[in-house]
Amino acid sequence: MLTARDGARDEAQKLHRKWMKHQAFMAELARNKEWLAKIEREGEELIHEQPELRSVVEMKLKEIRECWSHLENTTKVKARQLFETQNHRTNDLPSNTLSSTHSTQPTLLQPRPTFSQQLQRIKSMEVQMQLYQGVGEVRAGADHRRPEGEEQGGMTETRIVRLIEPLKERRRILLASKEMHQVTQDLEDEIVWIQDRLLLASSTEYGTNLQSVQHLIMNHKVRMEIQAQRGRVEEVLERAEAVAALRTPEVELVREGAWHVRQLWEVLQVEMERRIVMLDAVNHAQQYYTQAAKAESWLSGQKLQVLNEEKGNDEASTLRLLKEQLALEQTVENYAETVSSLSQQCRRMLELGHPDSEQITKQQAHIDRLYVSLKDLVEQRKTKLEQQYWLYQLKREVEALEKWISEREAVASSTELGQDLEHVTALQSSFTQFSTETRAVGQKQMDSVNKMVNEMIDCSHSDAATIAEWKDGLNESWADLLELMETRSQMLAASYQLHKFFNDCQEVLVQIEGKMRQLPEVRSCQVSSANPGTLQRLLHSFEHSLQLLVSQVRQLQENAAQLRAIYAGEKADAIFSREQEVMQAWKELLVACEGSRVQVTTVTDKIQFFAVVRELSMWMDGIMGQIGSTDDLLLWTPAGADLTRRWIT
């Protein structure tokens, strides 16, 4: 029977060692499950980078998943079998049986009583021993007068004493055995408890989104359970150390169980801390991914809005779109804080060595690219709208200026040249003021528009060709207006010269007629006046007054020649006719003047002749009165000769 118990105990120890090794293998398998997740991530990245390898990579990943699933299922089945076998063996583990020390009959093999039953039997025997001892004392007190009673009482006490010590030793052995088995059972319970928690702590299930991760964190009570179980584990290990101090073959199993509990406890704490760290890291990562997804969605939505090619139909609608674009640009600028916050989260996780650092870095790089791309698109959209708004402004300015030029052209193209000199003078004065104002205002507006055009072309406006056409057309219209005003000014000047010519002709004719009326007065003075000097002065004064008229006539001839080069047709004939009329009157005046001059000369000569004759007569009379004197006769010859010469002249 002892050999059977030893064999059963050895088999139980071997089975427990297998169970512990298998639990260590399961813990190692759980820890290595991260490699499978890493391989799957690398496979997905490889498919994303090289889509042509999708079929090969997916086939390999499928084989790995199937092998891993088969390994996990096989491990769980074996663990369940070992656990059930171990529990069955623990319940059937043999124990010492209590036999009577005075029985000599062979003991039949019966079902093994439990420790509680054996202890209860020992307690019952101790009570019986105490009862026997009390009965013996009573009998000894009643029969102390009989020698036989004394001998029988002594024999009873001796037998009871002999039974009490073996019972106490047996009880101690049973209690020690019970404690050892209890410690063993407690160690196994702790191993099962730790392994159950270890499966949770070593789980690689961290959730696939923020909600599931936060749910796992809220339901992750392993840490609290471990803290609550710490006292129990320490108490069981202390009891195991006390039992291990005994010198029995069974304590080796207790030592091994205690060592295994310590190892699993340490692994559990490490796995628990690792899972807490991983859950925290995954939580941070999922928070980052959630915020990054929101940022990506927002940036993508804004990008679609910016890519809208809507353009304003006029200046007002374009200004409205431009204001909306400026507001969007400010919103995008403000969103830089969100992108910066994501970048800081990414940087902190990278500094802490987050396991998804590579994926987080790619996500952040994607967000940064999206934000930079959005800013570029916003800037391009704003530039387009600004250029469109400037184009509408320029178009409005150009159209307004062209309208203004057209209105000025209508005035400058007038064919009204005046009816007379006064009228044409008024027209010329009014047009001079109009021309001065037009040149000043128009040049200022043209400079403003040309400056705007040059700035838009220098800024590489998308409609630079159209703007250049507008500029050329506007400058051409302005040049036409200037030319038209110059032509109008020349026409008015020519009209002024024409009317002034006619007016000057009329004035010259009036002056000629006046001079013609003055000639009879000169002639009458010739008749009435007997003084040659007076006649000469009068004629000289009249001829001098004609000098101004001579210059006017010459100027009229020059003006007529110029006007004939300008005008043709009826006006040229009118100019020629008027000129001939003036020249005819002038010739008549000159002829009349010449006649008056001849007449004055004749009269003057006549008067001078009569004066000489009178002087000669007087001299001759004087000579005749003195003819008798010889001396006086000698004096006559030179004087008489001089007088004679003067008269002849």
Q: What domains are there in the chain, each with its CATH number?
A: 2-88 (no CATH), 168-288 (1.20.58.60), 309-411 (1.20.58.60), 414-614 (1.20.58.60)
Alpha helix stretches (DSSP H) within 529-569:
532-566
**What pLDDT is recorded for position 271?**
83
Give CA–CA dist 647/649, Å, rounded. Answer: 5
Give the residue, 399 or 275, on which the prediction is more confident. 399
- Please check the confidence at residue 508 and state whether its pLDDT lies above 50: yes
Q: Count the helix, strand and coil residues of the chain and give each as a percent rounded to the nearest 5.
A: 85, 0, 15
Which tokens hold the place of 374?
A: 């959005």
Give CA–CA dist 559/583, Å, rounded. Answer: 13
Residue 421 has phi, psi (to 5 degrees) of: -65, -40
**What pLDDT is recorded for position 12?**
60
Chain-centroid distance, C-alpha 305:
13
| Collapsed DSSP state (helix, strand, coil) of residue 192 | helix
Give CA–CA dist 95/269, Å, rounded. Answer: 36
Q: Say what percent of the chain tops pLDDT 70.
A: 73
Which tokens hold the place of 166?
A: 């073996």
Half-sphere exposure of 647 (CA within 13 A, CB side): 15
Chain-centroid distance, C-alpha 646:
120
Confidence band for 334, pLDDT divided at 50, 70 and 90: very high
Give CA–CA dist 89/174, Å, rounded. Answer: 20
Q: Say what percent of the chain tops pLDDT 90.
A: 8
Confidence band for 41, pLDDT divided at 50, 70 and 90: confident
Give CA–CA dist 601/595, Å, rounded. Answer: 10
**What pLDDT is recorded for position 513?**
85
- Other Cβ atoms closer than 10 A to 396: 12
CA nearest neighbour of 525 among 451, 456, 604, 457: 604
Q: What is the mean pLDDT of the chain?
A: 76
Contact 410, 485 (CB under 8 A): no
Give me the mean pLDDT over the 430-444 stretch.
91
Give me the residue label for tokens 């804080």: 337
Contacts of 244 (CB under 8 A, 6+ apart): 251, 254, 255, 258
Give me the mean pLDDT over the 181-192 stretch.
84
Contact 538, 601 (CB under 8 A): no
User: pTM here?
Assistant: 0.53
Give CA–CA dist 449/468, Å, rounded. Answer: 12
Give Dmax (Cα) for the chain: 264
Q: Tell me the pLDDT tens digit for each residue of 276-330.
A: 887 788 888 888 888 888 998 998 888 888 887 777 788 888 888 888 888 988 9
Distance in Å from the first CA to the final CA of the chain = 208
